[in-house]
Structure 1
């Protein structure tokens, strides 16, 4: 039976991800051990190249499903030439990713883009195949949640204000597992406890451990029918 190991928001932190997976029993060579990432693979950390290689390998062997986080979308738009990247370098930690992935001689944003695409021709395809959501029966894996507007109703948005999603999204029989919003403030506000552990409240589970600061990655495990394995 397949097992799905779920993680989120590693932000360029490779070693702590590998350690966390190992502690949870993930076996690299076990074809029944699969990965689900809830997004935000890059930026802020300093092991972005290792993260890219990790994603490429497990995607190639067909054992990885990925959600598109807002930081993944930042990188995708930059590489497609839809965004100049300056804002995200200045405020969102994308500079670390671009420095690691590009040649040292690339001394402008267009040259950095060209360098990365030349060195890693698979990267656009890898980023483009990241999904908005993944479902295993009644479990829905998502990055930040849903946002409401009068025009669209509830729609998936990878920069959603997660507390508004938790408080207002109508119950539909599903359990939503998300990243994006750090578990520490969620655990404190809703559950009145100080904890880096997954946030569990009603039909919501949050797992973003603020890895850049805590050096911790929360891992959840599910079987192929969506049952959580503890």
Structure 2
């Protein structure tokens, strides 16, 4: 539902979505080395002043294959809660690691997480035992609208939405087994995602029953840093 509304919003701004096809080739019709056209698999030709390629990334760990370091199935470096690999006193941080995230293990490719990885690893190298404890967050802003996302969940059983998605004034709660695992919000109230991040960082859980009533301001129950209440 949220994805559909985002697409409609972009289309209202003149953005065209070309779905169920992929680029087949890039053409320089002026023979100047610059791309002017994109030829799609369905035969359509799209005029282009620039081409941005967003196909994801893979960890550059080929030099580690055959070493003593343990790699995950997707070739990320496996680390523990102290950012230490399976080899004593060898640490790894950043986008190339597969480590603890909110009770599970995964890879998070985001600067906030990588930055925190470095701090945790450095403290442990200095013999100051420190455990990784961070809540992933992401945000995006396009035109005059932004969406914030906090938490981590790889399988959603229930999505509870408060507000109006079509107006981009909503909070979406992603739940698993009766527990809210992640929150996405746009519009008002602006601080719901931040409140959920702080609650999670404190090791507390927001239950699905706590958000059943849209008028119940759960974040007023709990003091958050910077003001407000979130006890």
Question: Taking structure 2 as the reference length, what is the TM-score of the superposition?
Answer: 0.21
| Bigger radius of gyration | 2
Between Structure 1 and Structure 2, the one with more helix by share is 1
Between Structure 1 and Structure 2, the one with more strand by share is 2
Question: Taking structure 1 as the reference length, what is the TM-score of the superposition?
Answer: 0.21
Structure scoring higher RCO (CA < 8 A, sep ≥ 6) equals 1
